Structure 1
Amino acid sequence: MHLPAPALPIDPLLPDLRAAIAQHGMAVLQAPPGAGKTTRVPLALLDQIAGRIVMLEPRRLAARAAAERLAESLGEEVGARVGYRIRGEARSSKATRIEVVTEGILTRMLQSDPSLEGIGAVIFDEFHERSLNADLGLALTLECRAALREDLALIVMSATLDAAPVADLLGDAPLLTSEGRAYPVETRWLDKPLARDSRLPQAVADLTRKALAETSGGILVFLPGEGEIRRTAAALTPHLPADTQLHTLFGAMDFKAQRAAIAPAKTGRKLVLATSIAETSLTISDIRVVVDAGLARRARFDPNSGMSRLVTERASIAEAEQRRGRAGRVAEGNCYRLWTKGQEGAMQGFAPAEIETADLSGLALELALWGSDDGLHFLTPPPAGPLAEARALLHDLGALKAHRITDHGRGMAALPLHPRLAHMLLTAGKSAAPLAALIAERDPLQAAPADLSLRLKALENPRQFAAEHPYAIRRETLERIRRDAKALARHAPADQGLEPAEMAALAYPDRIGLRRKGDAPRYLLSGGKGAAFDAADPLGQNRLIVATDLDGDTREARIRQALPLSDASLRALFGAQIRWSDHCDWSPRDTRIIAQSRETLGALILNTRNWDAPPEARAHAALDGIRALGLAHCGMTSAARRLQTRVELLRAQGADLPDFTDDALLERAEDWLLPHLTGIKTADDLRNLDLTNALTSALTWDQTQALNRLAPSHFTTPLGARTPIDYSGGDPAIEVRLQELFGLTTHPTIGPARLPLKITLLSPARRPVQTTMDLPNFWATSYTDVRKDMRGKYPRHPWPEDPQNAQPTTRAKPRGT
């Protein structure tokens, strides 16, 4: 084993690693950033492993940089004993023994040769980042080793991950830990939280200027994305000292600019504004100060909408510690955090694994190509819901049939594209290659409208486009898209002569949008979700569009890129799926029944015509209207409510009667209400219903008899008038004019239990006079005072001195008497 000088913290552990590989064939190595595991471990195994050593890196920049450092350690150029392979680029030869690859490359190697012939070891570097490709690659490699290659050495290396579960997954593989070499780092927090209206770029710029003034050495600033990096750079540039070299570092940059950011400063002081790309997998020279905005950008997939979106959220404690450690690699350092010490209590311990939050359609396709995922062991199993959604999409794209991969699916898996774009390329042919490459990459235009055809024009002739349009072009991104398009065209079948919008519709059949009524550019997508353009976007006037890029908002996504689609193109592509069907529905917006024949594609209604729906269909639609409006607003008259209350009163006393609460009545409304909904058209018709008879029909004859006996609906006065009994207040109650009860010597009661009625006695003008539950006592006591008052107010009405022996009446005395 030959290792180049100078010594690194990982070196004392390398003999133990070699011994673990010799004895167990597997090992888990945990070492902090800067310990030297990336540059030392492959070299330490070079004379021990027969065959090539393949080392995985999570990013293209990290793969190139690792290969260059390893080759430099051997005194060679990249492409000799050390090479690398990333998407669209490779530098290796027959002499290559160590090949550094990005994680997706290993999956392709395993799918084409499950035995990994000629490979003696696989090293997963920076596994703590828990990318989807790394998790899949490890699961496939473990099955390869168990079934075909017991001699295959397997090493998982991590900076901060809790490594014990990984060792368990590898069958109790030896777990080796290096303490690393870290100089003390002083951490400085904010004194108080940022104000709610603070702008992140300015706040980071202010904190960076503070760090520049208080410290020496290179400064590494962590920001969530390119946009924040550019805005922070703009805020910093006018205030930087003359000897400060400002660099930016993010994944979409040209490799030459990336190398300049990680190289030592030639003169003066170095300042690097970077994304999480700089957390662990890169060594950036001269850094002694870290400024951390405390944010991370992650992809989140919503299976309900079928969309992924990038979200900016709090970094985890583990990520913050990795960033902090960057300041203590070469000397004592400082870390400035854009949050208070107290706010750390709300931060997560670790970031979620990508497999828990990402779009799983690519994973589902790889699993189908592998043949089975029954025996695969994932550190974090893919969640069932998103995986089912991914497989449903693959069925729709023709990649799966009866849960097995098709020939079309095999072709899709062979392409370095998302399954949607692979399907588009294989179906539309070579002319779809530029569109596939364009959609797969970040937007090459800055601050441009959503029209994707603008990007296609920029691809065709960048110089002419720049002369004719005011939009800024990301040159490096555009050139990368052009290179990818040429490579993809070599794998595509003959051109089918489709327009770009037709190609996009093949990739996104669930994102064909139909403009909603109204002035705002709002669309319903064929998959059932809503989306909208910015108000001023010219594409918002089109009837049909295909949305290729959405922000993933679950309520109404913002359309970032799209193409206009003609009706003829839609019918040419999806004619077999466009159908006429009859619908009779309650419209919550119009509050009425709408009966139509509809021409539909997915959730889109392309055309309508009136339909004379049968009474049964209209009754069901009316019932939906009642459920939408609520039973309280549909026919529950005072008589219906009294019936409901009587039933509920007896049920509370143990009577065998059905549940008459509103929720229970609506739940079984098909049984008792449907026959009474004929002729209903609008919400006014529903409000004018009287459901008393319908509710009565919900009771059997025996139940009705018991109800009338135990809780009668009315009290009959001595004059024969039927007065409704109110049961809502607890005691059964009636309201009746006092004079109608003359001659009544016993208090009225109801039911076998002879419950006394609570009587509100009314004046001739039907105003309350007194309430009693003992009528004979009222006649004997209070009536005298009431009689005096009533004779004065109503002199033409009889007010006998002895009401118990008087005749009940509702009439006044004749005039003049």
Structure 2
Amino acid sequence: MSGIGGRVRAEGHALPVAGVVPALLGALGDQGAAVLAAPPGTGKTTLVPLLLADAFAGRVLVAEPRRMAARAAARRMAWLLGEPVGETVGFTVRGERKVSARTAVEVVTTGVLLQRLQRDQELAGVAAVLLDECHERHLDADTAMAFLLDVRSVLRPDLRLVAASATTDTGAWSALVGGPVVAAEGTLHPVAVRWAPPSRPVRPPHGMRVDPALLDHVAATVREALRSYEGDVLCFLPGAGEIARVAGTLGGLGVDVLQVHGRAPAAVQDAALAPGADRRVLLATSVAESSLTVPGVRVVVDSGLAREPRMDHARGLGALATVRVSRAAAEQRAGRAGREGPGTVLRCWSEAEHARLARRPSPEIALADLTPFALQAAIWGDPAAEGLALLDPPPPGALAAARATLRQLGATDAAGRVTTRGRRLAGLGVHPRLARALLDAAPHVGPARAAEVTALLSEELPSSYGPDLATAWRTARRATDSYAPRWRTESRRLQAALSAQGGQPGHAHAITEGGTEGEAPADGRAPGSGRGEVRAGNSRDGRSGSARTGFGDDAAAGLVAALAFPERVARRRGPGAYVMVGGTAAEVAGGGLGDAEWIAVAVADRGAGRVSARVRVAAVVDQATAREAAGSFLEAYEEVVWRDGDVVARSVQRLGAVELSTVPLRSPNPEAVREALLTGLRGEGTGLLRWSRGAQELRMRMAFAHRVLGGAWPDVSEEALLERAPEWLGPELAAARRRSDLERIDAANALQRLLPWATGDAARFAELVPERIALPGGARVRVDYSGERPVLAAKLQEFFGLHETPRIAGEPVLLHLLSPAGRPAAVTSDLPSFWHHGYRAVRADLRGRYPKHPWPDHPEQNT
């Protein structure tokens, strides 16, 4: 071979993927796109790009999901050519770029690729793009693929596109890109699976928390692996905190312990990908699942956990969550032990648990905060993402929430189109929320300090820095750990990007990943950033002041956090308890934060089943800063409501769900008062009114008429009365102002309004449903309508002379015949039958006890 291919070392041509490169080139020549299915270790990341550059005139871009993988791939390809990085092979990641005019293969992160596509949709000078590790389904990779397919269909049909995957589940990718699947056989050696669950139950992961007992078990399993097996040990853990804890328990073993994660220094990441002189234990996050081969590894210890983004769209809480890995991810991890020879994987869970794991990881688009994606789509010209070729469409609710956030930030207009401000936010290279905070805080706290705090918020802080953002800032300034250099680099990058955007009056310059500038006009502040200027707040150490230099560190940290997350500005409502502007309850575990009146929450999570979010990082702010940063939530209104058992009428000023001030209303709107009283009635029932005995009896008579006569006679059940309350309460309700006024309303008078006066039936109500019935003995006895049938209860002697049973609405009344002492003697609804058959027994029983009372032989004739 000639050209680049001819300069590749023999080790490269011996890689398994070399055998399918002709088929891949043929597919690209015929259809312009293909899916390359090649297991880890076959050379898809390192050999294929070099041969693509040899076959096509133009630069080849290789997109990797992680910076560590991008740098490592570039170094490996450069080694295959016998060159330093930056000549034939270069790389560009956020904050670092090594390319030259001779560069034919450039490895970039997917985030960098997105920025480049937005700046130059045609990708001038690029012959082919290889999207690596597509199976991981990172959102940036899915988005970049959609944009590239759009470019191929409209602008660059000659652009070759390769979707590279380490799995064989490639049918969907093939249909998406419109090209065939080219599969390479792997050289993976056998990997023995050993199940190593903890001997005692451990708590499942919750939010970011991992049971320390599980970490102790993982450390013990690593020690067992060192004793029982040969070769280096690669241990998968969910995050840097867990890696540090396990590393702390592995001292004194006589091996090198490397901590490999996205926050690790580049030197540590590079060392992990180079052979070690001594035996090694590599404690790694998921970054080591599918990047280049880690030499020397023959044993994998898998905790079975990973970190994934999760978004609670209803509460605006986005954070990383610790989750169980999928079976596909577990296989990827296990494969690391078989790259160079037979290996072993020790899984820290049971075989039964393994069968219950999800088959594949969920795509990030289904789980994550979609605000960055929505901004990319808006800049691309498709705000609703309806025309983007995506394997999985964005969830409608999540996308709607993201678009609403962009509108609040001023990044898009009412129609969803990107604004000039939106392009400026995107050009800063951080989440749109953080970009907004950087842009709007810089004039008040200074560009350098705004950039430093924004850099703190751009990735997970070390847990040792604590929950107070200002304290973490001071810690980072003097720290010598692995986090501090990366933070300083990002701070400088953000300050440079900010400076470039403000390079000319009235204009902003969007700095690109390569250091060139693209010009875009500026358009001022975002809606919701406050009315007028953001005022300086007082810090806890007493420092205060005006724009730029007047903010103390505490106030500056608070301002940046509040501008980034205005709906998470929170006010104290009890010891350690807060309520956020967005309505979410939050808890702070002790310390100075829990004593502050106002805080701006930067990081919080809310586990399943929890009512309150747990604050992980926040900054103290004062009320002035809270009002200005969350100004779009500020509202003043008159409130007339039923609360705590009475009408509350007040003038309210709120910041979202946070109440700022209240003043009682002297003359509230009468209609609003009426609605509040109706709300109280609906909530507490008609028992709020004055129900005399007469009112209660009238209601029962009306209920009987409705039940038996129907027609125009009204329903007076509780539900019906509440529904028609404005009608029957009439002027009494209109005159009421508070609970005590309701309690004075005579329900009897009010109920009369429901009678059918219009039909004339109301005038016959006393006749049809009499309140009392006259008996021959001279008594007028009250009828009891409380039961299913009317009841007339009186002493037996009162019925003497009555031949027939009284009737109401055509139905016989149930008679309760009482003894002279008022005790029940008999019950009947057929009085003639009683006189002829039952009376003699009652008479015989009672005459001896009540001899002074009459007991005639023929009571129906006795008057």
On whether the aligned pair clears a TM of 0.5, the verdict is yes
Alignment equivalent of 2:237, drawn from 220, 223, 234: 223
Mapped to 2, the partners of 1:361 and 1:769 lie a distance apart of 81
CA contact (8 A) 2:465 2:471 kept: no
- Cα deviation digits, residues 775-806 of structure 1 (max 9, x gap): 44445445555556556777776666655445
Q: Residue type matched to 1:593 in 2?
A: V
CA shift at 1:137, angstroms? 0.8
Structure 1 match to 2:455: 437
Task: Return the TM-score normalized by structure 1.
Answer: 0.85
Q: Name which of 449, 452, 455 aligns with 2:469.
A: 452
Gap change, CA 1:334 and 1:603, over 3 Å in 2:
same
Matched, 1:616 2:671: yes
Partner of 2:497: 491
SS in 1 for 2:374: helix
User: Are 1:623 and 1:674, in contact at CA under 8 Å, matched by a contact in 2?
Assistant: no
The 5-angstrom pairing of residues 557-576 of structure 1 reads 557-570=613-626
1:616-695 matches, within 5 Å, as 616-629=671-684, 642=700, 677=733
Asked if 1:607 corresponds to 2:624, the answer is no
Higher deviation after alignment, 122-131 or 611-620: 611-620
Task: Report the alpha carbon displacement of residue 595 of structure 1 after superposing the two structures with TM.
Answer: 0.8
1:391 positional shift: 1.7
Correspondence for 2:132: 125
Query: Given that residues 587 and 612 in structure 2 are in contact (C-alpha distance below 8 angstroms), is that contact kept between their aligned partners in structure 1?
Result: yes
Residues 620-629 or 428-437, more deviating: 620-629
Query: How has the CA–CA distance of structure 1 residues 572 and 358 changed in structure 2, closer, same or farther, with 3 Å as cutoff?
Result: closer
CA distance in 1, matches of 2:267, 2:770: 90
Whether 1:327 and 2:382 are equivalent positions in the alignment is no
The yes-or-no answer on 1:147 pairing with 2:154 is yes
* Residue 439 (structure 2) aligns with: 426
Aligned counterparts of 1:634 and 1:300: Cα–Cα separation in 2: 51
Q: 2:258 aligns with which of 239, 247, 260?
A: 247
Matches within 5 A, 1:398-437: 398-402=410-414, 403-429=416-442, 430=447, 431-437=449-455
2:395 is equivalent to residue 383 of structure 1: yes
Matched letter for residue 335 of structure 1: V
Contact kept? 2:372, 2:432, Cα under 8 Å: yes
Q: How many residues in Structure 1 have an aligned counterpart in Structure 2? A: 778
Alpha-carbon displacement from aligned partner over 1:138-157 (angstroms, at most 9, x marks no partner): 11111111111000000111
Root-mean-square deviation (CA), in Å?
3.7
CA deviations on 1:284-326 (whole Å, 9 max, x unpaired) are 2232333322222221112211121222222222222222322
Please name the residue that 1:505 is paired with. 562
1:44-65 per-residue CA deviation (whole Å, 9 max, x = no partner) reads 3121122111111111111111
Q: Deviations over 1:427-448 (max 9, x none)?
A: 2321411111111122256162
Instruction: Please tell me the residue identity of whatever aligns with 2:410.
Output: G
The residue number in structure 1 matching 2:296 is: 286
Name the SS of the counterpart of 1:79 in structure 2. coil
Asked if 1:232 is matched to 2:284, the reply is no
SS in 2 for 1:600: strand
Question: Judging changes above 3 Å, is the alpha-carbon distance between structure 1 residues 25 and 555 closer, same or farther for their aligned structure 2 residues?
Answer: same
Aligned partner of 2:277 among 266, 271, 279: 266
Percent of pairs identical after alignment?
39
Q: CA deviation at 1:170?
A: 1.6
Q: Quick one: structure 1 residues 592 and 24, their matched pair in 2 at CA, closer, same or farther if it must change by over 3 Å?
A: same
- Contact map agreement 1:619 1:674 (CA 8 A) in 2: no
3-state secondary structure, aligned to 1:400? coil
1:444·1:474 contact (CA, 8 Å) conserved in 2?
A: no
CA contact (8 A) 2:699 2:751 kept: no
Provide, for residues 20-42 of structure 1, a one-character-per-residue CA deviation record: whole Å limited to 9, x for no partner: 11111100122333333212221
Q: Distance in 2 between matches of 1:290 and 1:455?
A: 35
Q: Distance in 2 between matches of 1:700 and 1:164?
A: 74
Write the letter of the residue equivalent to 2:219. A
Asked if residue 73 in structure 1 is aligned to residue 85 in structure 2, the reply is no
Q: State yes or no: 1:113 paired with 2:120.
A: yes
SS at match of 1:32: coil
Unaligned runs of 5+ in 2: 204-210, 503-546
Q: Give the 3 Å change call, closer, same or farther, for CA 161–761 of structure 1 in structure 2.
A: farther
Distance 2:132 2:730 in 1: 66
Q: Give the CA deviation at 1:13.
A: 2.1
Secondary structure of 1:491's aligned partner: helix
SS in 2 for 1:484: helix
* Aligned AA (1:204): V
CA contact (8 A) 2:566 2:629 kept: no
Distance in 2, matches of 1:438 and 1:220, equals 30
Q: Post-superposition shift, 1:710?
A: 13
Q: Quote the Cα distance in structure 2 between the aligned partners of 1:279 and 1:85.
A: 22
Q: Which residue of 2 aligns with 1:351?
A: 361
Q: Secondary structure at the match of 1:237?
A: coil
Determine the structure 2 residue equivalent to 1:528.
Answer: 583
Q: 2:597 maps to what in 1? A: 543
Matched residue SS, 2:617: strand
Could you give the per-residue CA deviations for residues 727-750 of structure 1, whole angstroms, max 9, x where no partner exists? 5xxx53536245355554444555
The one-letter amino acid of 2:612's match is E
1:317-361 deviation digits (Å, cap 9, x = unpaired) = 222222232233233333333333333443222221111111111
Q: 1:744 to 1:458 in 2, by over 3 A?
A: same
CA distance in 2 between partners of 1:208 and 1:686 (Å): 74
State the partner residue of 1:50. Answer: 57
**Aligned AA (2:459):** E
Pair 1:736 & 2:793 matched: yes
Counterpart of 1:810 in structure 2 is: none
The correspondence of residues 653-802 of structure 1 with structure 2, limited to 5 A, is 677=733, 697=753, 701=757, 705=761, 716=773, 718=775, 719-727=779-787, 731-732=788-789, 734=791, 736-737=793-794, 739=796, 741-751=799-809, 754=811, 771-787=827-843, 802=858
Contact 1:733 1:760 in 2 (8 A): no
Q: CA contact under 8 A between 2:196 and 2:348: conserved in structure 1? A: yes
- Mark the CA change 1:760 to 1:565 in structure 2 (over 3 Å): closer, same or farther: farther
Q: Secondary structure at the match of 2:245?
A: helix
Letter in 2 for 1:421: L
- 1:470 — aligned with what? none
Specify the alignment match of 2:308 in structure 1.
298
C-alpha distance 787-476 of structure 1, shift in aligned 2 (>3 A):
farther
Q: CA deviation at 1:578?
A: 4.6
Matches of 2:690 and 2:270, distance apart in 1: 76
Question: Any conservation in 2 of the 1:631–1:666 contact (CA below 8 Å)?
Answer: yes
Q: For 2:651, what is the secondary structure of its paired residue?
A: strand
What is the CA–CA distance in structure 1 between the aligned matches of 2:719 and 2:324, rounded to whole Å?
A: 43
Deviates more, 1:1-10 or 1:84-93: 1-10
Q: Secondary structure at the match of 1:281?
A: coil
Task: Tell me the CA shift for residue 648 of structure 1.
Answer: 8.1
- Is residue 55–residue 124 contact of structure 1 (8 Å, CA) maintained in 2? yes
Q: Which amino acid aligns with 1:559?
A: V
Q: Which amino acid aligns with 2:404?
A: A
Which residue pairs with 2:509 in the alignment? none
Report the counterpart of residue 580 of structure 1 in structure 2.
636
Greater alpha carbon shift after TM alignment, 761-770 vs 134-143: 761-770
User: Structure 1: which 5+ residue stretches go unaligned?
Assistant: 463-472, 808-817
1:555 and 2:607 are equivalent in the alignment: no
